[in-house]
Amino acid sequence: MGLRDLLKKKERLGEGDAAYSETLNKLAGPEFTFIRSDTNTHEIIYPPSHPRNDRYLSAREPGSTPSKSRRSLDVFRPRSRGNSLLSASGDSDGDTNGGGATKKDHRRLSHRLGLSRHPKTSEYVPEDLPQINVTSTADGPTTTETKEAREAQEQQWEKRATILATTNEERQRSRSRSASVTPSISYTNLSGLNNGNGDIDTSSLKALGGVVSSKEIDQDIQEAIRLHEEGDLERSTQLFGRLADPYGANNPLSQVLYGLALRHGWGCEPDVERAVTYLSAAASNAASVETLALKAGVKKGGAAKGELVLAIFELANCFRHGWGIAKDPVAAKQYYETAANLGDTDAMNEAAWCYLEGFGCKKDKFQAARYYRLAETNGSKTLGNTWIWKEKYNPK
């Protein structure tokens, strides 16, 4: 995506795969695993043709080592159940109770099938992160009530984005105390940036960090984009870096673009860790502006909503691919979903993929269809996704 396309996406926001494994061995015949189960246990039994085993109708001995799941099995049974059954039959932590039985014998069926109610967590996602009912304002005839409900829900998602940005910045600080880029606005002082009339006091905001853009900064950004499109990547990146300086212009959009330049090596040596630092600074700076806008009752978001959503989406990419930070599927999914509900069409497709593949969450084709539909409605259609329009995936 070119820089101008990125800016167009930001303006729209402001206004309103994994690769497959190697193919199966063509010479190998199909293989099956037979499982005998009841409400409490399940056992693997072997047919007469199983090599080196004349106990073909007997279950595997308790002390035997479980066999690894075979790739060919995925062809004949659903992935979500096949792997979990094998893992449930083989997993053991070695702990026993007083009677000598392992703890797994007393686990609930949902635990044995890998359906634990306790999802995985992430240090970049606070435990008290607000949970928003995404189906409460389903598509339908627009009325005054539904319009107000959607605006209120968008405000909730924007608040959620500011919480994620704040948490991420705190983790970045603890991860590297010597980071050269840190937000220059303290969240404890946000209450003092309101002028008492419900409006943002931009003079106070500039005094604390200067994250508000100006005509000169906007002209410099356009010049940097022009240089980038003409192929002068080195000068373009240098200009973005000057505008992103937290002790200088401290411009959130420039911090996003400079972070992308560092991540992909546009006119400079790639430095994915510094890229995460600048993207985090952009998210934090934009979040400070949006926090004030929310406090002032601005319904459509503040002046930095586009920058906040772009930064959240790019941080999600970092968490997903492990660019400059450890891979974190839970954080990636939460960041994608937050950006998706704030209007980013790329994030809509990525959130749908997370639900479809169970990346950072439980598999949920209903939610996957919802986000794919949302992306297609907003002009980002994915070929081969006709299944999302089946009646069974309609909002309930």
pLDDT averaged per 10 residues, the chain (length 396): 74 56 47 75 67 47 44 38 37 43 48 53 90 66 75 90 93 68 38 40 41 83 96 97 94 96 96 96 93 81 89 97 96 97 96 96 96 96 93 90
What is each CA distance from 294 to 131, 191, 198, in whole angstroms?
18, 12, 10
Output the 3-class SS for the chain: CCHHHHHHHHHHHHHCCCCCCCCCCCCCCCCCCEEEECCCCEEEECCCCCCCCCCCCCECCCCCCCCCCCHHHHHCCCHHHHHHHHHHHHCCCCCECCCCCEHHHHCCHHHHCCCCCCCCCCCCCCCCCCCCCCCCCCCCCCCHHHHHHHHHHHHHHHHHHHHHHHHHHHHHHHHCCCCCCCCCCCHHHHHHHECCCCCECHHHHHHHCCCCCCHHHHHHHHHHHHHHHCCCHHHHHHHHHHHHCCCCCCCHHHHHHHHHHHHHCCCCCCCHHHHHHHHHHHHHHHHHHHHHHHHCCCCCCCCCHHHHHHHHHHHHHHHHHCCCCCCCHHHHHHHHHHHHCCCCHHHHHHHHHHHHHCCCCCCCHHHHHHHHHHHHHCCCCCCCCHHHHCHHHCCC
Question: What is the model's pLDDT at position 327?
Answer: 96
Q: Are strands 34-37 and 42-45 parallel, antiparallel or unpaired?
A: antiparallel
Tell me the longest C-alpha to C-alpha distance in the chain.
85
How confident is the model at residue 142, as a pLDDT?
Answer: 61
Number of CB atoms found within 10 A of residue 319's CB: 27
Among candidates 394, 362, 282, which has minimal Cα distance to 80?
Answer: 362
CA-closest candidate to residue 390, choices 282, 372, 378: 372
Token pair belonging to 29 = 């015949």
* pLDDT given at position 293: 84
Q: Which of 318, 286, 288 minimizes the C-alpha distance to 304?
A: 286
pLDDT computed for residue 279 by the predictor: 97
Residue 82 half-sphere exposure toward CB, CA atoms < 13 A: 15
| CA-closest candidate to residue 313, choices 2, 48, 13 | 13
Cβ count near 325 (within 10 Å): 23
Both tokens assigned to 228: 């980038």
What pLDDT does residue 84 have?
A: 38
Contact between 195 and 202 (Cβ < 8 Å): no
- Give me the pLDDT at residue 238, please: 97
* Overall size of the chain counted in residues: 396
- Region of residue 361 (left: phi > 0; alpha: psi -120 to 50; beta: else): beta
Are 273 and 181 in contact, with CB atoms under 8 Å apart? no
Residue 334 corresponds to which tokens in the numbers above? 């939460």
Bridge partners (DSSP) of residue 44 are 35
- Which single residue is written with the structure tokens 């037979």? 34
pTM of the predicted model as reported, rounded to 2 decimal places: 0.66
